[in-house]
Structures are given as C-alpha cells and as structure tokens.
C-alpha cells in the first residue's frame, strides 16, 4: 500500500535554496478564464460558445512560526524599497513524506512578496507567534 501523503511537511524553496518550512499554505491554484460569445446556427438558433481565455494564478499564502530568520522580511523589504526586479524570484512549494523525501513540487515564476503579516500579540494568550507572507507570481507548474 502506498504511503498516503500528509500535508504537514512542506517547504518553500527560492532559487533552488530551501528558505523555510511552513505550517500552512494556500493559493496553489491555476485557472483558465472562460470567454463566452453568442453565435447563431444555420437554423437561426442562438447558442453560447465558451472558449479558453488567459491563464491566471492565485497568490500563494504561507504561514509559519516566527524565528530568528529575517529572510522573508528582507525579501518583502526589496519590494517596499522599489527594487521589484531584484525581488522577483522563481521558487517552489515542496511536499515531503515522512522520510523527508520529496513527493510533490509546484514551481512558481517571478514571485515577489506582496504582503507580510506579523503575529497578533496578546500577553494573556498562549498561541505561537507566526508570520504570514503572500507571494504574487506569474505562473505555477507541477513538476
């Protein structure tokens, strides 16, 4: 029986280097827009044709516990300082099995951090402090 894939072990790679592991990931989505147009048949009946339009990809949102690493903050800082060309990077979301062997990979193109969210701080709470980043990109492919 094959090992069932869990969703708890995944990492973000940027330019081939493992940047961090995360506790949540969403937005690994690709979609083709649908274009509708009306057309009349030879019999004069009106029909609606649907054809594929442009490809579009959702933003990827990742959440992880805060630690001493500033890599995500520095990546976001490039965008804030207006250096968007340097901030655009190719990367991957990689799922690993229980032996830490790669089993699935989605590569994104020309991604940059469009949003960074820090932890909600509550002196009376017992939650783990997390940070969240949103990566906007120009393409997503399963490899």
Residue 21 included in any domain: yes
Residue 135 included in any domain: yes
Q: Which of 59-68, 92-101, 109-118, 131-140 has the lowest mean pLDDT?
A: 92-101
Residue 18 included in any domain: yes
Q: How many domains does the chain have?
A: 1
Beta bridge partners of 57: 30
Residue 5 included in any domain: no
Are 78 and 61 in contact, with CB atoms under 8 Å apart?
Answer: no
Task: With cut-offs at 50, 70 and 90, classify the pLDDT of residue 62.
Answer: very high
Residue the block writes with tokens 């940047």? 19
Residue 3 included in any domain: no
Residue 2 included in any domain: no
Residue 77 included in any domain: yes
pTM listed for this prediction: 0.83
Closest listed residue to residue 71, CA positions, set 22, 110, 28, 25: 22
- Phi, psi angle pair for 72, to nearest 5°: -70, -40
Domain boundaries, position 95:
10-142
Residue 111 included in any domain: yes
CATH number of the domain at 16, please: 2.30.110
Residues with Cβ within 8 Å of residue 4, at least 6 apart in sequence: none
């Amino acid at each position: 029986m094959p090992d069932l894939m869990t969703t708890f072990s995944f990492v973000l790679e940027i330019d081939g280097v493992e940047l961090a592991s995360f506790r949540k990931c969403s937005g690994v989505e690709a979609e083709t827009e649908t274009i509708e147009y009306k057309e009349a048949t030879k019999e004069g009946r009106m029909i609606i044709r649907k054809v594929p339009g442009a490809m579009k990809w959702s933003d990827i949102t990742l959440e992880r516990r805060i630690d001493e690493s500033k890599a995500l903050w520095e990546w976001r800082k490039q965008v804030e300082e207006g250096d968007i060309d340097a901030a655009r990077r190719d990367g991957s979301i990689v799922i690993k099995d229980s032996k830490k062997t790669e089993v699935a990979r989605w590569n994104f193109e020309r991604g940059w951090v469009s949003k960074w969210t820090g932890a909600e701080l509550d002196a009376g709470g017992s939650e783990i402090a997390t940070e969240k980043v949103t990566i906007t990109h120009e393409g997503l492919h399963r490899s």
